[in-house]
């Protein structure tokens, strides 16, 4: 080939590589997803690609203490530690700077520390202006006084209810007989204070055959998350843990049976074990990310920063995306299973 033609061919190859869309590159510099933006590739400990991901949605388990004793609990009271409020605020600020858009306060029972919770929620919503601040609670300790003061800073309250038969709740350990009464009151209070109401149900040995359709329609939650009961070895896996959830376990077929019965509800969101295990970013009471069932936790984000901690956490951001982790999470918002309610607050 004459030299000029050779040079022309080389130039053409170089230019096409430069203009080739990034999606066709096997290990690109940027990859944007709905949930996580991968900033830069680097080599991980095992020679695999490890990536710095943005912690868009974080679950902060601010305490392990709880006033209930659900037999399948997988975040048990192994410590009574709660960070000082200033530390928790600093952690929220670091996460916001790293790209967090939603925080979910969980436990244990977060209302064991109601004032701390309220003040932190206020900081996240008012000062940090997060898109969404939510709380997962068993509902038993939420009061109208608390909602009157802090409800304005809460987008979503997710309240646990595993059965609409109180005897089943008692058998599970979800309270001692007043859970449903409190649950229904709280649904009304949330509507009154403009907080979106969500229901969390753990599908287990004692409720997998229950028909909850009518009760859910009557409550009309924005979302109804149904989790397959999960065993985490170090939390509820057997004789040496605070809980032994093995008697609550159900098969995938039994979980599917429950899903088939309730899947037609618009608000229904099922989460089997496969999705649950690693699609959540979990920050524990010491501000460390957890690697549940995979490996030990990371160092505190106050100690090493968010980016370093994120490099050491196993978070299945694809799983997060697949389970619809990013949804319409700022109030007010229409939709869900309710009918004929205040359109501004219909949830
Ligand atoms: S209410 Fe939640 S944190 Fe408390 S025991 Fe039950 S599952 Fe565990």
Task: State the pLDDT confidence band at 326, using cuts at 50, 70 and 90.
Answer: low
Question: For ligand 1, is residue 175 a contact (CB within 6 Å)?
Answer: no
Mean pLDDT in the chain? 81
Q: CA triplet 129, 135, 137: central angle to 5 degrees?
A: 165
Q: Could you tell me what percent of the chain has a pLDDT over 90?
A: 62
Give a yes or no: residue 115 inside a domain: yes
Give a yes or no: residue 177 inside a domain: yes
- Position 34 scores a pLDDT of 23
Active site residue 73: yes
Q: Note the pLDDT tens digit of each residue in 303-320.
A: 999 999 999 888 777 666
Pocket test for ligand 1, best of 61, 67, 68 (most atoms within 8 A of CB): 68
Supply the pTM of this predicted model. 0.79
Q: Note the pLDDT tens digit of each residue in 56-80.
A: 999 999 999 999 999 999 888 889 9
Give a yes or no: residue 112 inside a domain: yes
Give a yes or no: residue 34 inside a domain: no
3-state secondary structure of 229: coil
Residue nearest to atom 8 of ligand 1 (CA): 73
Minimum mean pLDDT range among 116-120, 177-181, 212-216, 246-250: 246-250
**CA distances for 4 relative to 1, 9, 11, angstroms:** 8, 9, 11
3-state secondary structure of 149: helix
- Position 222 scores a pLDDT of 93
Report the alpha-carbon distance of residue 25 to residue 250 in Å, rounded. Answer: 43
What does residue 75 show for φ and ψ, rounded to 5 degrees?
-140, 80
Domain that holds residue 60: 55-322
Across the range 107-121, mean pLDDT stands at 97
- Position 335 scores a pLDDT of 55
Helix axes 114-122, 85-97, angle to 10 degrees: 30
Give a yes or no: residue 131 inside a domain: yes
Give a yes or no: residue 44 inside a domain: no
Give a yes or no: residue 275 inside a domain: yes
Domains in the chain, number = 1
Across the range 246-275, mean pLDDT stands at 92
Give a yes or no: residue 36 inside a domain: no
Structure-block tokens of residue 54: 């943005």
Across the range 336-342, mean pLDDT stands at 49
pLDDT at 333 over 70: no
Pocket test for ligand 1, best of 75, 172, 232 (most atoms within 8 A of CB): 75
Task: State the pLDDT confidence band at 18, using cuts at 50, 70 and 90.
Answer: very low
Residue nearest to atom 3 of ligand 1 (CA): 108
Q: Note the pLDDT tens digit of each residue in 198-234.
A: 999 999 999 999 999 999 999 999 999 999 998 887 7
> Can you give the CATH number for the domain in which 237 is found?
3.20.20.70
Task: State the pLDDT confidence band at 52, using cuts at 50, 70 and 90.
Answer: low
Q: Note the pLDDT tens digit of each residue in 297-306.
A: 999 999 999 9
């Amino acid at each position: 080939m004459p030299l000029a033609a050779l040079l022309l061919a080389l130039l053409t190859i170089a230019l096409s590589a430069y203009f080739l869309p990034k999606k066709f590159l096997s290990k690109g510099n940027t990859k944007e997803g709905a949930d996580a933006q991968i900033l830069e590739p680097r080599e991980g400990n095992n020679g695999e690609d490890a990536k710095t991901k943005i912690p868009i949605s974080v679950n902060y388990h601010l305490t392990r203490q709880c006033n209930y004793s659900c037999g399948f609990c997988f975040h048990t009271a192994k410590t009574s530690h709660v960070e000082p409020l200033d530390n928790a605020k600093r952690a929220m600020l670091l996460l916001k700077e790293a790209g967090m858009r939603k925080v979910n306060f969980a436990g244990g029972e977060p209302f064991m520390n109601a004032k701390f919770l309220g003040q932190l929620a206020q900081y996240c919503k008012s000062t940090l202006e997060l898109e969404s601040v939510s709380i997962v609670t068993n509902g038993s300790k939420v009061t109208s006084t608390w909602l009157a003061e802090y409800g304005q800073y809460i987008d979503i309250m997710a309240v646990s209810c595993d059965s609409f038969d109180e005897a089943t709740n008692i058998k599970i350990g979800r309270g001692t007989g007043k859970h449903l009464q409190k649950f229904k009151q709280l649904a009304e209070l949330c509507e009154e204070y403009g907080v979106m109401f969500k229901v969390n149900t753990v599908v287990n040995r004692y409720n997998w055959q229950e028909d909850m359709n009518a009760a859910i329609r009557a409550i009309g939650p924005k979302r109804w998350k149904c989790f397959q009961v999960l065993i985490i070895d170090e939390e509820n896996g057997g004789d040496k843990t605070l809980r032994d959830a093995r008697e609550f376990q159900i098969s995938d077929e039994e979980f599917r049976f429950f899903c088939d019965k309730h899947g037609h509800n618009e608000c229904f969101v099922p989460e089997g074990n496969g999705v649950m295990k690693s699609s959540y970013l979990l920050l524990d009471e010491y501000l460390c990310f957890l690697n549940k069932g995979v490996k030990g936790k990371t160092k505190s984000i106050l100690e090493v920063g968010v980016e370093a901690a994120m490099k050491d956490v196993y978070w299945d951001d694809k799983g997060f995306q697949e389970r619809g982790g990013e949804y319409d999470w700022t109030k007010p918002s229409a939709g869900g299973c309710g009918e004929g309610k205040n359109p501004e607050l219909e949830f």
